[in-house]
Structure 1
Amino acid sequence: MASALAEIWQRLRDSQKQRIYILPTRAGYAYAGLMLLMLLGAINYNNSLGHLLSFLLVSLGHVTMHHSHRNLRQLTLRVTPLEPVFCQQLARFKLTIINEDSRDRFQLEVAHKKQQPGARWKIFKAYEPIQKVTHIEADNTCFCTLEVPTQRRGWHSLNTLRLASLYPLGLFYSWTLYPQTAKVLVYPQAKGKLPLPSPPAGGKQRLKGEQLGDDDFAGLRSYREGEPMHRVAWKALARDNVMRSKQFSSPEGHELQLRWQDLDNLVDTEAKLSQLTNWVMQADRAGHRYGLQIPGTQIEADSGPQHQHRCLKTLALYHG
């Protein structure tokens, strides 16, 4: 008995935390006006059938309002950020909608709050729809991906999500708000016309990984996380179940330094960051070891996915 009362009390508290707002739509106002005209006509002509039909339709509208409100109750939203993106690309979030009730849910719309100043005072225009969910079964979970446009580098927050519905007849618009803290890292745009800096005289070279050609095989070494799978020595793996990478003796790449001061001809800070981002991508594709030097930060030369992410993150969060 005590546990049942505690569960009821917890549900009551949770329902109070989630405020659900509801307003008539244009169709709802037209419906109400039609009901009023029918009722006035029935009163004027003392028509019993008109009274019956008017009250029946009013009752239908009242029941519709309750169903619209109940369609958003006991829904939980969870948002998980996905991989970083470049500026002007779509930031992606994984959305999980949990239906904790024994009733199905229908016609749900997910919208996110725009980041433009001035739109926050307009409750309907401040949110932009980004996903629609037609049906969630009772006691079930729905997974989908949210894609949000990005306009600047740095951390991109999803802000507040609005879950809305016109169910069941479109006479009422109900919605509830879910504040979010999920954010995705947005790299600067990878653009710029300048070529990669030339390596210093006598610059270091390193051995490259497996590739097509007549290069001499240099041996095996332990596999490092993030290396391409085509470098794996599959025959050796099948023999002793130890993962190794192939090495070849032909030289590949140089050690480059991507420096802020080499871009003095670019006046705009964002243009410099975009050019450095483009250099990082080019150097990584070419297999070079590269370092990054910007005001206040210096990253030693290295290579690989983790090093690339570290450099791009530094550029994304730069404040000059």
Structure 2
Amino acid sequence: MHDTLYPPRACNPETAGNPFRSSLLSTVKRPLLSTIRSNIRKRWQAWINRRIPVDDRRRFDRHSIFILPTAAGLVFGLLLVVMLLTGINYQNSLIYLLTFLLGALFVAAMHQTHNNLNGLELTLLQPGEGFAGEPIPFRFVLQAPHDATAIELGEETGGAVTLSVSGHDRVEGTLQVASRERGYLRPQRLRVETRFPFGLLMAWSWLCPVTPALVYPKPVVPPRAPEGSVEAGDTEAVSVSQGQDQVELRPWREGDLSARIDWKRYSRNGEMAVADWQGEQGSPQWLDFDGFPGVDHELRLSYLAALVLDRERTGEPWGLRLPGITIEPDLGNLHTRQCLRTLATWQRSAPGEGVQ
């Protein structure tokens, strides 16, 4: 009786309820679906790249502008269909009239939205610089032969700026692009879109810039002083106690660093003399990549970035040493920027470098 009421299930792998079969099918379907999605994405990207070349300047025309209804536009179109069916059902002339008027409005909005981008010219003026983890500014200029209203320029990580320009005029705007690591930052594709005038349709295109921005290493204060470094305040004491350094004065020559000029001597007698340091002790502060042995390379660069900012505030001459690169001691904002740019680009290749 028990066997009659509850017959045993057949151990057939072809049955739909078999857990082994369902897990096997799901295991096969997942890579298959991901492969299909990947192929579709690659084909789409290749098609876009053929239509949108890489350039810092882009003039949008009908060959590069795409347009589709927004969510509000789809609802609006659905309501038009319902109104049309209602008018046909009741043979009501007023419903016909309202439906056709709203349909004509939708068509007019489509032309206006497309023309809002047509003929627009967008140019990258200057990519910015900043530290890793901070937004990097990109300055753009927008020109149009007609009034262009509510043009939104954005990128994949979510940053966006909205610009409007009068006919035959130009307007500048700054887009903040998120950064993650040091080196060169070049957004693969910047989206330019508009939903003017009614938000029923969205016209868009892309700008693929060439010139990258520079991202400095994120400053991290080192837990200890770098090995072999000499603090600026201890220079004189080390020189006196050790007696290992000698400072020789010679006439100034074109190309000498301003940090080595003896300004006190110049203020006394007007003679331009340059100090030459002999030996390491007593010389201006050196920030050395090799001063942090056993530390990851990227973390060393972050330490050096923090020390660069710290030395800039002290007002003392300092230099930078990286493997294969030496920046002589100097002062000033230009010197600081040169060192930060060197830290940003060390062992980094610019986007597109080496491509024929």
Normalised by the length of structure 2, the TM-score is 0.64
Q: Among 70, 76, 89, which residue is 1:31 paired with?
A: 76
As a proportion of its length, which structure holds more strand?
1
Alignment of 1:103-142 (within 5 A): 104-114=147-157, 128-133=158-163, 135-142=164-171
Which whole-Å deviations, capped at 9, do the CAs of 1:62-87 have from their partners, x for residues lacking one?
11111111111111011122552122
Alignment of 1:205-284 (within 5 A): 218-219=267-268, 255-266=284-295, 268-284=296-312
Instruction: Please give the alpha-carbon distance, in whole angstroms, between the structure 1 residues aligned to 2:177 and 2:123.
Output: 16
* Alignment check: 8 A CA contact 2:61 2:118 kept: no
* Alignment check: 8 A CA contact 1:80 1:182 kept: no
DSSP 3-state at the match of 2:347: coil
Q: Residue 181 of structure 1 aligns with which residue?
A: 210
Structure 2 stretches lacking a partner, 5+ long? 1-58, 240-244, 248-258, 272-281, 349-356
Query: Cα RMSD (Å) of the superposition?
Result: 3.0
CA change 1:310–1:217 in 2 (3 A) is closer
CA change 1:209–1:90 in 2 (3 A) is farther
* Alignment check: 8 A CA contact 2:62 2:118 kept: no
Report deviation, 1:100: 1.8
Alignment of 1:1-320 (within 5 A): 16=61, 19-101=64-146, 104-114=147-157, 128-133=158-163, 135-193=164-222, 194-195=224-225, 197-199=229-231, 201-202=238-239, 218-219=267-268, 255-266=284-295, 268-319=296-347
CA change 1:129–1:276 in 2 (3 A) is closer
Give the total of aligned pairs.
Answer: 257
* Alignment check: 8 A CA contact 2:148 2:166 kept: yes
Report deviation, 1:190: 1.9
Report deviation, 1:221: 6.7
DSSP 3-state at the match of 1:138: coil
Range with greater deviation from structure 2 (175-184 or 188-197): 188-197
Alignment-mate amino acid for residue 283 of structure 1: R
Identity of aligned residues (%): 29
Structure 1 consecutive aligned stretches of length 4 or more whose deviation exceeds 4 Å: 14-18, 203-210, 219-222
CA change 1:15–1:311 in 2 (3 A) is closer
* Alignment check: 8 A CA contact 1:81 1:183 kept: no
Alignment-mate amino acid for residue 230 of structure 2: S
Structure 1 stretches lacking a partner, 5+ long? 1-13, 115-127, 223-252
